[in-house]
Each structure stands twice: as structure tokens, then as C-alpha cells.
Amino acid sequence: MKRIRRIAASPVVIFAAAVTTRLAVTTYTFRNYYGPEVLFMQNESSHIASSLVAGLGFSSPYANVPIAPTAQQPPLYPLVLAGIFGLFGTCTRESAWAAVSLNIVAASLTAALLYRVGKTYFSETVGLVSAWIAVLPWMFSDLSLSVSLSASFLAGLGFVVLLLFLPWSTKNNRGWLALGVYAGLLVLLQTTLLSIFAAWGVWLVFCKTRSRRMLWALAGLVFALLPWTVRNYVELGRFIPIRDNLGLELWLGNRPGMQGTVDYSGDFPDHDPSTYARLGELRFMDAKLEDAKAFIVRHPVAFAERCLQRAVQFWYFPYSRWWILLSVLSWVGAILACFRKVMGAVLAIPLLVFPPVYYLTHLFPIYRYPIDPLIMLLAAYAAVELAVLLSGKEYAATHTPTGNGLL
């Protein structure tokens, strides 16, 4: 049994198993549903990457629109994709496989690192359980793979790395500064992570004695975001710290005559770029924001109902009874962590503050992926605690992590 446990705890074994499951699902999807080249259709990042490779700059996030600077996407993933296009060709089958392979590697590294994160914050058993939960290809379904050219998989890996080094990186001012810079880079990869970092900052300021060190982290965050913000001001003539598409995202989930909780019909630029082309990006986004706000004011009940539906959907995507169980267990684990763990709030806060933007706008299964590793970790913690309770053994699934620099 010890030998089996030792093998199961090997990062190499966990990584290899995660790669195998994801590669199998990807291959099956491409053979039975659609080819990899379909992934570049109606994909903003690939359009921007194509413009970059063509020497047209960071522009044109939609097909058949004038070449003009854009802030529709944060910059890092289109730059990564442009590198792939430079090596394998623009929007080719080989580039699609390369992009998906990058996501497979990122997701598999996440599973391997999750073992170490679980061991750091809780126990080896929790780390082992969470890692093998992550080995399962939850998000590599045909539904989510169709938009797999996304920063979400890399952002999930980046967030796990942050959690892994968080207790040690905040021991001194230099560590706080580095943490802020790293957080800023993650925001330039996945904007929604900013809500987590902001909430952590507020929590530290009001609940902890070393809140002055947050100034170093804030300085690092600003330092990371500043070049992109300056670029946006120079190119677009407006203060845009990260991206400018909130109005469009809000409109997709809140407007008259729409169907369901998100509706891509009408003049959504991927389907009908004429309005976007006529108004230009900023005026188009402003118009969509005003339309969505007007709908919300006139139909507050319909807006509230859709928000509630999206909130429920966020926690049961990708439509699996096992995922529903995992979501419930993650909340149980978050509550237990808050009561029992020194850094419990650090782990629980993301579950509260990351999803609301998708409740208000719209969502897709892959949007949740940046915090999926944390969901799996907290679910594993709750499951181990429950198993210990039912067994009647005197065993604690938790321990106080070492090197806790947040306190």
C-alpha cells in the first residue's frame, strides 16, 4: 500500500496520467465531432494573433472588420498564440494542435502541482486526492474544447503556482513586490483574476496587522499593468487599464428579446460585424453598455432571474452530477478552512469573488477553469475530513502550513 501511495504521489505519474486523459479526449473529439482547424473560427485571440503575425499590430479581434487597434482582449495570450502561428503557420491544423497541446500541458502541470499545494495547505492525503481529481479531464469535453484557444488553462496553472508560493513570497517587502508583479501578469492573461487579488488586498488591509506591505504588492501590480495601460491610452485615446469589452459582455446576457442566459444573435461582431465596423470599437462597446444598462433598469426582475440562473449554472457546468458534488464539497471545504486554517480565508475568498462577473454577464464552462484547481483542492479537503469523521479515527486532515508570510 505504501508503494502504491508513493507511486500515486509522484509528480511524474500525476502529470503523465493527466496528459493521457486529456490527449485521449482531445483525439476522440477531433475524430468524432470536428477538426482542430474549427477552433480558430469566431475566436478573438486567434484574430488578434493573426494581425500580429501579419505585422498589423494588436488589432482586429473579429473577422471582416477594419484594421484598428483593439483592447478587446488582455495581451498575453494573443502574444502566445502569435508565437505559435509564427512557428506552425496562421490558423493551420498544426497550429491548432500546438495550441491545444499547450493547454493540455498546462492543465497536466496544474494537476501535478496541486499535490504540492494540497500538502502545503492541508496534508499529503488532501494533496493526493485533489491531484487525482484534477487528473480527470473535467473541462476537456467537446463543449469546452471548441473554445480551448483560451487563456483559461494557462491562468489555472498560474493561479496554482501563486498559491504554492504565496506563504513564502510574502515574508519581506521584496516578496510582496514580486507577488504584485506576478499578479499583474496573471491579470494580463486572465482579467477576472483581478477580483481575487483586490479582495485579498481588502482582507489584508482590514483584517491583518501587516497591511502596509500591501503597498509593495500594489506597486508591483501597477508596474506590470502600466505598459499595457499606456499603450491603450496612446492607441485608443482612453484610460483602459486592461480591456474595454464589458459593455458587449453585459449586453450578450442582458437585452430585450434574447433567448436563455446568453444570446449571440443580432449584431454580435462574430456574426454581424457591420455595426462594430461602422462605429469603431470604443463607440460600439459604449453603445452595448448603454443598451444593457437600459434593459436592466427597465426589467430588473428578468435581470435578477437570469443572474440567478447563471449563478446556478456556474456551479454545475459541465453538466455532470459528479461536478455538482464537487462544487458542493468545495464550499464545505471553504467553510471548514475558514474555521480551522490560518490561511482559510485566502482559499475561500476566490469562490466568492471570482464568479459574480459571470453571474451578471454570461458564462461558458471554460470560464470557471482558472479557479477549478482550487475547487478541487477544497473539495478534496472536505472529502478527506468527512472520511475521517465517518471512520472514527483520530486523524487530522489539516496542519498549519509552514512559512506563512501573510500573517
**Whether residue 207 has pLDDT greater than 90:** no
Q: Which of 103-107, 145-149, 224-228 has the lowest mean pLDDT?
A: 145-149
**Whether residue 136 has pLDDT greater than 80:** yes
Could you tell me which residues come within 8 angstroms of residue 392 by beta carbon, excluding any fewer than 6 positions away? none
Is 146 domain-assigned? yes
How confident is residue 94, by pLDDT bands cut at 50, 70 and 90? very high
Beta bridge partners of 59: 69
Beta bridge partners of 69: 59
Q: For residue range 36-68, what is the model confidence (pLDDT) as tens digits?
A: 778 888 889 999 999 999 999 999 999 889 999
How confident is residue 154, by pLDDT bands cut at 50, 70 and 90? very high
How confident is residue 140, by pLDDT bands cut at 50, 70 and 90? low
Q: Before 69, cis peptide (omega within 30)?
A: no
Task: Pick the closest to residue 71 from 44, 98, 37, 109 (CA basis).
Answer: 44
Is 11 domain-assigned? yes
pLDDT score for 400: 47
Q: For residue range 245-282, what is the model confidence (pLDDT) as tens digits?
A: 999 999 999 998 888 899 998 899 988 999 999 999 99
How confident is residue 158, by pLDDT bands cut at 50, 70 and 90? very high
Is 406 domain-assigned? no
Is 403 domain-assigned? no
pLDDT score for 373: 94
- Domain of 73? 2-391
pLDDT score for 213: 77
Contacts from 127-131 at CB under 8 Å and sequence distance 24+?
Answer: 127/9, 127/380, 128/5, 128/8, 128/9, 129/380, 129/383, 129/384, 130/373, 130/376, 130/377, 130/379, 130/380, 130/381, 131/14
Mean of the per-residue pLDDT values of the chain: 89
* % of residues, the chain, pLDDT over 70: 91
Q: Which residue has the higher pLDDT, 322 or 193?
A: 193
**Whether residue 317 has pLDDT greater than 80:** no
Q: Are 59 and 68 in contact, with CB atoms under 8 Å apart?
A: yes
Q: Are 385 and 344 in contact, with CB atoms under 8 Å apart?
A: no
Give me the mean pLDDT over the 153-165 stretch.
94
Is 246 domain-assigned? yes
pLDDT score for 402: 46
pLDDT score for 50: 95
Q: Which residue has the higher pLDDT, 348 or 29?
A: 348
pLDDT score for 277: 94
Q: For residue range 285-303, what is the model confidence (pLDDT) as tens digits?
A: 999 999 999 999 999 999 9
pLDDT score for 186: 97
Is 399 domain-assigned? no
**Whether residue 398 has pLDDT greater than 80:** no
Place of cell 459593455: 247
Give me the mean pLDDT over the 139-150 stretch.
64
Is 176 domain-assigned? yes
Q: For residue range 124-134, what is the model confidence (pLDDT) as tens digits?
A: 999 999 999 99
Give me the mean pLDDT over the 328-341 stretch.
91
Is 113 domain-assigned? yes
**Structurally, how many domains does the chain consist of?**
1
How confident is residue 209, by pLDDT bands cut at 50, 70 and 90? low
Using only C-alpha atoms, the chain has a radius of gyration, in whole angstroms, of: 22
How far apart (Å, rounded) are the C-alpha atoms in residues 208 and 404? 13
Q: Give the global pTM.
A: 0.92
Residue 356 amino acid letter:
P
Give me the mean pLDDT over the 358-385 stretch.
92
